[in-house]
Amino acid sequence: MTYQHYTAEDGLTLAYRDAGTGLPLIALAGLTRHSGDFDFVAPHLAGVRLIRPDYRGRGASDWGDPASYTIEQEARDALRLMDHLDLDKAAFLGTSRGGLISMVLAATAKDRLLGVCLNDIGPVIEPAGLAGIGAYIGRNPSAKTFEEAAAGRAKLATGFHGVREDRWLADVKNLFTETEDGLVISYDPALAQTFHAGSGSEFPPLWPLFDALEGLPLALIHGANSDILSQATADEMRARRPDIHYARLDDRGHVPWLDEPAALAAIRAWLGEMT
């Protein structure tokens, strides 16, 4: 799919994909990921204009000052993209970090949101999951080919069961770029500096941000084996928002790909509230 571009407030050129017609849905990826993560769910989203930005320093977007790789800045980048596209409002589908950005937007620019779907993220982020991210962020893999990386992911990915080999292969192609010297990460390695400096390596409970979603159509996709989102946190989210569309995926960890049948059912029910 062809990328389009817009200019951030600090002059960086940021990339995004824009396809389909209907309800504007901005899909925000995880910390080290990019718009390709939504390739799996995109074919299942009829009646939606799917807008997929690459964050600054990731994918096809410019690299910038590592100090700008923050959730707050990425939220402002999302609003600037909406302005670029002349969108007064949009729904947000946020995977992991993308969900945190969506909650920040609910607290700071709620009038721009139609609804929010959170993919395996909540107001309490488990330390074990953050420690796992800290162990790999900013580092190229030891694998030299996509096939080798896919085999490694299949063995080491926590909490995933019944996943086909071709899915792992497609997944690692979103994670890495293949070069003559092996695989390299598809983001600025300096992202690790910001993470370890504290903007991503630890979070206090963020319940006020979650509570800011009040009144918006809300969905939660939960990998039951996630090391980021605990069952206790998911249960509390559901207690605070009994109207939430919830899907618990027993054979998934962090993060589901969103084309799982239960995930699609929750997403479609959530979208139905806005169409």
**Residue 197 pLDDT > 90:** no
The span from the CA of 54 to the CA of 33, in Å, is 8
**Residue 199 pLDDT > 60:** no
Longest CA pairwise span in the chain (Å): 52
**CB 242: neighbour CB atoms within 10 A?**
7
- Residue 221's beta-bridge partner residues? 119, 247
Taking only the tens place, the pLDDT of each residue in 227-271 is: 999 999 999 999 999 999 999 999 999 999 999 999 999 999 999
What's the mean per-residue pLDDT of the chain? 96
Taking only the tens place, the pLDDT of each residue in 73-125 is: 999 999 999 999 999 999 999 999 999 999 999 999 999 999 999 999 999 99
DSSP string for 112-147: GEEEEEEES--SS--HHHHHHHHHHTT---S-SSHH
Tokens linked to 141 = 């893999």
- CATH number 3.40.630.40 is the correct assignment for the domain at 4-137+203-272: no
**Residue 200 pLDDT > 80:** no
| Element at 154 (helix H, strand E) | helix 146-156
| Element at 45 (helix H, strand E) | none
Taking only the tens place, the pLDDT of each residue in 33-61 is: 999 999 999 999 999 999 999 999 999 99
In contact, 133 and 188? CB cutoff 8 Å: no
pLDDT at residue 1, rounded to an integer: 65
pLDDT at residue 158, rounded to an integer: 86
3-class DSSP assignment, residue 233: helix
Residue 27 — pLDDT band, cuts 50, 70, 90?
very high
Residue 201 — pLDDT band, cuts 50, 70, 90?
low
The span from the CA of 232 to the CA of 167, in Å, is 29
**Residue 171 pLDDT > 90:** yes
Instruction: Give the global pTM.
Output: 0.97
pLDDT at residue 156, rounded to an integer: 85
Q: Domain extents for the chain?
A: 4-137+203-272, 139-186
Q: What is the percent of the chain where pLDDT is above 70?
A: 98
pLDDT at residue 229, rounded to an integer: 98
Tokens linked to 92 = 């947000």
Taking only the tens place, the pLDDT of each residue in 142-163 is: 999 999 999 999 988 889 999 9
